[in-house]
Amino acid sequence: MSESIGLRSISEYMTKAPHSIEPHQALDDAWHMMGKYHVRHLPVLAGGHVVGLLSERDLTYLKQIAAGSEKKLRVRDAMVYEPVMVVSNTCLRDVARRMASEKIGSVLVCDEQQKLLGIFTYVDALEALADIA
- What was the pLDDT predicted at 1? 46
Domain membership of residue 76 as a residue range: 3-130
Global pTM?
0.86
Instruction: Quick: pLDDT tens for 77-117.
Output: 999 999 999 999 999 999 999 999 999 999 999 988 888 99
Query: CA-CA distance, 45 to 103, in Å (whole number)?
Result: 23
Query: CA-CA distance, 1 to 61, in Å (whole number)?
Result: 34
CATH number of residue 24's parent domain: 3.10.580.10
Of 2, 18, 50, which Cα lies nearest the Cα of 124? Answer: 18
CB contact at 8 A, 72 and 62: no
Query: What is the number of domains present in the chain?
Result: 1
